[in-house]
Amino acid sequence: MKTSGTSLVPARWAPFRIEPNFVTRVWGHRDLRPWFDHVSAGDPVGEVWLTGDQCSAATGPHDGETLGRLFELSPHSLLGEHAPALDSPLLIKVIFAREKLSVQVHPDDRLAHKAGQPRGKTECWYALAADPGAQVAVGLKPDSSLESVREKIASNTLERALRILQIHKGDMVFVDAGTVHAIWPGSVLLEVQQNSDITYRLYDYGRPRELHIEKGLEAAKVETRAGKVSPETLSDRTVLIDVEYFRIEKVTVKESISSDHLRDPHAAGRPAGLSYLFAAAGAGRISGPGFEAFDLAPRSIACVPAASPLFEVEDLGGLDLIRIEPKWPA
């Protein structure tokens, strides 16, 4: 398939691949193969940040420049003219848990603003893989109260108050701000979240790390919208989740697909905005007039700026393409 039409947009803002950032965590792994060709000689790696501000462009004219710097230099080229904020709206990670993460909670926008932070942290998890019996903890049991949560923290029994979900490959779990939650071993998760790293730990299994009980209880909500999300199957894609901060789709690529067919089919008439293309499996190639083509290896991600010229994505074999688009609440 050839990309139709021509573009007067400079190739300076063509799609580009992003170099990941490997972030150490006490509960992570030292060897991330076969997911990533990375073996840590030091502390274990628990999170691979795909779009963090310290991640850098790996192709194109911005090769070597960090995302944080690019958003600072030209936010409208990346986000579009109508974005209400001018920094990177989403943080996208792959989570590798060898041990249980802390039981934690994140503040919503209102509470984050009260603390002088630009935004809260609503997130979701897409299971790239899951062992038989893999579980996550999402929310509190119906009979819980914040006072009972405090008591269970003191008695080291907080897990008894958590709502446990069995997780399988392909599951999408929504975790809105205020949800008490924990990721447990047995799965590899693609996490998409508001670009905030505010975490309040309520319980940490005896690890010598700081807890944030008072702030966490202030942020925690007894009832939230968290839980598994049923996919919506359309003719050319599957919508995995569509909420106020992000829309995530699995897009069907039959040999190749043009950029004008990648966008949300309901977005006709709306100005183009930022999106990301993640190769959950298989490989692809992104090419178009005026810029050098580049490959998407498995688990790599490309940034598609709002000012991008037309392009196409070619399936090089087994491409499982995830499209991630930031949104802003009305």
Please compute the mean of the pLDDT values over residues 307-311 and round it to a whole number: 94
Domains of the chain: 21-54+90-228 (2.60.120.10), 231-326 (2.60.120.10)
pLDDT band at 6 (very low <50, low <70, confident <90, very high): very low
CA atoms within 13 A on the CB side of 98: 14
pLDDT at 20: 98
pLDDT band at 5 (very low <50, low <70, confident <90, very high): very low
pLDDT digit string (tens) for 192-222? 999 998 999 999 999 999 999 999 999 999 9
Is residue 201 among the annotated active site residues?
Answer: yes
Please compute the mean of the pLDDT values over residues 86-104 and round it to a whole number: 96
- Cis before residue 309, ω within 30 degrees of 0? no
Active-site choice (17, 201, 237, 323) = 201
Please compute the mean of the pLDDT values over residues 34-55 and round it to a whole number: 97
- Is a pLDDT exceeding 80 seen at residue 2? no
pLDDT at 328: 84
pLDDT band at 267 (very low <50, low <70, confident <90, very high): low
Range of weakest confidence among 53-57, 86-90, 123-127, 242-246: 86-90
- Is a pLDDT exceeding 70 seen at residue 290? yes
pLDDT digit string (tens) for 141-173? 999 999 999 999 999 999 999 999 999 999 999
- Is a pLDDT exceeding 70 seen at residue 75? yes
pLDDT at 10: 55
pLDDT at 234: 94
Q: What mean pLDDT, rounded, does the chain reach? A: 94
What is the reported pTM? 0.94
